[in-house]
Structure 1
Amino acid sequence: MRISTELLKGVLEGVVLHQIDAGINYGYEITKTLRELGFDDLAEGTVYTILVRLEKNELVNVEKHKSEKGPMKKFYQLNDAGKTRLTLFWTHWDFLINKMAELRKED
């Protein structure tokens, strides 16, 4: 299903945090997994932009490993602040889906 980019922008950070927490911790792997889940139009650059922001906001710990080709690869792991942000994301998500369900019932 094709989802509006604008709609996705509001949730992608939480989705990426969730993927990192699930052990998918390399940028390309995150993008690949999300595409397999149906986020077909997700650009790899979008995920990397989010990863840079997570690192800048100190929500992840980063380990660099040598790559067979090209630059060092970054692997991400949630730190305590990242886990707190992920919990808050799911709290907000639950609130939103409950309110959307209530709105739908009103119709």
Structure 2
Amino acid sequence: MGLVKVTKDLVAASATPMVLGILAEGQSYGYAILRRINELSGGELEWTEGLLYPLLHRLERHGHVEASWQAVTGERRRKYYRITDQGLAELAEQRRQWDTVVDALKEIWLGLAANGPLRAIPLECAA
């Protein structure tokens, strides 16, 4: 299967829960977050620093993440981000909202597939 072009609107809508979810796995720094997004999406989501860093700064302003500079032996200092309790609560709320959206879309796609127009499109995630 070829690369899927994900629209800017969908990337923007999913950015906050994606970053908070990655930071819920453990603290991380910008470049590692970008690599993790690429890994999780099988290379189909390629975020830029121009998308990530403004989001991290906004999450920090809202108290969802905290940042600290850390030195790694033999490397330059990196700014590490960790999710806060407030960020975990926001992640839980974002998940509830996304679950609602995904469930509604699955119902629509299953109905369309059963009635004809989408029969040729595999619904791998619908199971």
Q: Report the TM-score when normalising by structure 1.
A: 0.86
TM superposition outliers: structure 1 runs of 4+ over 4 Å: none
With a CA cutoff of 8 Å and minimum separation of 6, indicate the structure with the bigger relative contact order.
1
Identity of aligned residues (%): 27
Q: How many residues align?
A: 105
Of 66, 85, 92 in structure 2, the residue corresponding to residue 80 of structure 1 is 85
Aligned counterpart, 2:36: 33
After superposing the two structures, state which structure 1 stretch, 80-89 or 57-66, moved more.
57-66
Structure number with bigger Rg? 2
Are 1:101 and 2:106 an aligned pair?
yes
Structure 2 residue runs of 5 or longer lacking an equivalent are 113-127
- Check whether the contact 2:6–2:45 (CA below 8 A) recurs between aligned residues: no
Q: Secondary structure at the match of 1:31?
A: helix
Aligned counterpart, 1:15: 18
Q: Report the TM-score when normalising by structure 2.
A: 0.74
Q: C-alpha offsets along residues 71-100 of structure 1, whole Å, 9 cap, x if unaligned?
A: x42211111110000001111111111111
Aligned counterpart, 1:60: 65
- Check whether the contact 1:24–1:30 (CA below 8 A) recurs between aligned residues: no
- Check whether the contact 1:21–1:78 (CA below 8 A) recurs between aligned residues: yes
- Check whether the contact 1:59–1:79 (CA below 8 A) recurs between aligned residues: yes
Are 1:5 and 2:25 an aligned pair?
no
Distance 2:44 2:54 in 1: 16
Structure 1 residue runs of 5 or longer lacking an equivalent are none
